[in-house]
Amino acid sequence: MSSNPFFAPWSTPFGVPPFDLIRPAHLPEAIIAGMEAQNAEIAVITGSAEPPSFANTIEALERSGALLDRALSVFSNLLSSLGSDELQAIETELAPRLAQHGSGISLNPALFARVDALHRNRDALGLDAPSQRLLERHHLGFIRAGAHLGAAEKLRMAAISERLAVLHAQFGQNVVRDEREWHLPLTQADLDGLPDFVREGARNAAQARGLDGYAITLSRSLIEPFLTFSRRRDLRRIAYEAFIARGEHAGPHDNRKLIPEILALRAERARLLGFKDYAAFRLADTMAATQENVESLTGAVWSAARHAAGVERDRLLAAASVDGINDRLEPWDWRHYAERVRLAEYAIDEAELKPYFVLENIQQAAFDTASRLFGLSFHRLESLPLYHLDVRAWEVRDGSGHVGVFIADNYARAGKRSGAWMSSLRDQQSLDGPVSPIILNNNNFSQGTPTLLSFDDAETLFHEFGHALHGLLSRVRYPSQSGTSVRRDFVEFPSQIYEHWLAVPETLRRFARHHATGEPIPDALIQRLLAARTFNQGFATVEYTASAILDMALHTHPDPAALDVAAFEREVLSNIAMPREIGARHRPTHFQHLFAGAGYAAGYYSYLWAEVLDADGFSAFHATGNPFDPALAAKLRRILESGDTRDPMELYVAFRGEAPRIDALLHHRGLTALAGGDGVNKPET
């Protein structure tokens, strides 16, 4: 009998993977067996002598691949959260085989023939609305994969998918390698301006690397506070330039070599499918629908944001003149002087604010918000075997009983992917009986005793927990429609609207408590914090929107194979008059949203698109005078429960009563007066 735990039922509470039994060697064995099992399941579907039916084709397709899904969900999460050399080697080995497996299904002519026959006869099948949508989405998925193409084109599509899988894995591993290997050692003499929480984070980072003293790493949760508080301009420059150079070092790990090939392969795939470029291909299956709609949104926001950033720059220069900087700011100066101006104009000092944002309390605030909105409760699972000592788990319940399991992995560590994300170890579905979700949130907070968060960190926790609720509250029949399996520019709506509840004063009064005294954050400090929320939004909006514009330019380039990545980046930013004092939030060589996978390729605008929805949506709660209004909360829950069973704009309009308007976004960011024109654009329905 095999000792591989993937080949036996799991007796752990709620079916959580038995991480204490799983070894890296088990993963490729289970994944390969999972591919073989799914191939056999597909062969049963295509070899059936029965005419195609929804049950023997679509539902059978939904059932296929259970072992593969089980193994891949564990592997992908361990790869992102631990990132060991052994796991990366497995990724390198399996990426092309997995791509080949996926192409074998999506380009299978017999399977597509059955799906196509059902699609042509769909109005006579008597399907309910979710089933009808599932059939349509499956059919569209086959078309967008190339199932309707000729034999030669299918072979080329499969080859493209296989090569892209290899390139995506290499790109992500190169970024993780740079983040793991670089650090800036500091001595006591280098700590000028750093508050205690930054010093503690730097000391912990040094200890984790076996170093004496202090170290700044490329974790955003450590490097951004360093850039904010360090009075050593020379060290800020070193840290900033290392941060933006991730993936851009000559040699075998240089992502500049990978990007043109990735872009060229994506463009070729789009042309094979009849689209002029990859952006047109991606946008055809989004809420935005067209490049023109995306550019209308980013253009309106860019104009206002750039003007606001110019006003902010002048205020920062005045503060910098005290230090003898009279000509111009550099990108490594902006955060430092923005913090000084914020302190002067709003009496908001990050060092004063941060002691009130203890990680455990903010996690509890996210739980409490879910309790008040959706009736959920969270119960710590103390003895559950997990994959790292820092990871925590809770059972989630509501009035009907068990809902799912929520797992939080909140701390940065060497080898872990940067950023923050939600993923799942098991998706909710009820095709053959109820299956509850197991949802995972990853953050990269700098660990301390206690761990203190910035307000931005706290918003990130709420953001990812909003994604988690989308997975936890899913109530669908079919796995393909579960939770976050929605269009890319809708998936950020539940996460971004959830951020708003952190800033509700009663949330802050209950959960923002001083780590040493337990005293709640003073009302006067809350008022100053909320008054300052639109401060520096020109900078924040410029750095994000520049990345979204760069994404779209990269994926509409007419000849990406010949691209000089650095020169093209400079050209695009010059054409939009990018302020030289601000860098794009993501440069191409470390833009994992785009190049470590295709998830946000030609889709990074999605966060901005979703902000139109979330700002407009939360304004409905604000209008009632009750941020926990039960009627609106029930409507919002229906969005989270629905997954991909309905068109996203239909879901939004059912919640809000009308289509969203960009005014709410501009108002939320403090850019309304700077938008120009009437500032009113509705996303296309």
656 in helix, strand or coil?
helix
What φ, ψ does residue 124 adopt, rounded to 5°? Answer: -100, 5
Do the strands 184-186 and 214-216 form a parallel or antiparallel pair, or are they unpaired? antiparallel
State the angle between helix axes of 196-208 and 220-229 in degrees (0 to 180), rounded to the nearest 10. 140
How many Å apart are CA 456 and CA 461, to the nearest integer? 9
Quick check: 265 and 165 in contact, CB under 8 A?
no
What 8-state DSSP symbol labels residue 419? S
- Per DSSP, helices labelled H in 290-333 are 291-320
Asked if residue 614 lies in contact with residue 649, where contact means CB atoms within 8 angstroms, the answer is no
Strands (E), 467-509: none
Q: Which residues contact 97 (CB under 8 A, 6 or more apart)?
A: 32, 35
How far is residue 99 CA from its own chain's centroid? 22
Q: For residues 471 and 441, is the Cβ–Cβ distance under 8 A?
A: no
Catalytic residue among 395, 464, 543, 569: 464
Question: What 3-state DSSP class applies to 473?
Answer: coil
Could you give the 3-state DSSP secondary structure of residue 487? coil
- Structure-token pair, residue 206: 């040094």
Whole-number Å distance between alpha carbons of 445 and 423:
18
Q: Does the active-site annotation cover 93?
A: no
Relative to beta strand 438-445, strand 401-411 is parallel
Strand partners, 377: 397
Tokens of 256: 């500049």
Tokens of 296: 């209308």
User: Nearest 10 degrees: CA dihedral of 466, 470, 472, 473?
Assistant: 120
Name the 3-class secondary structure at 425: strand
Catalytic residues: 464
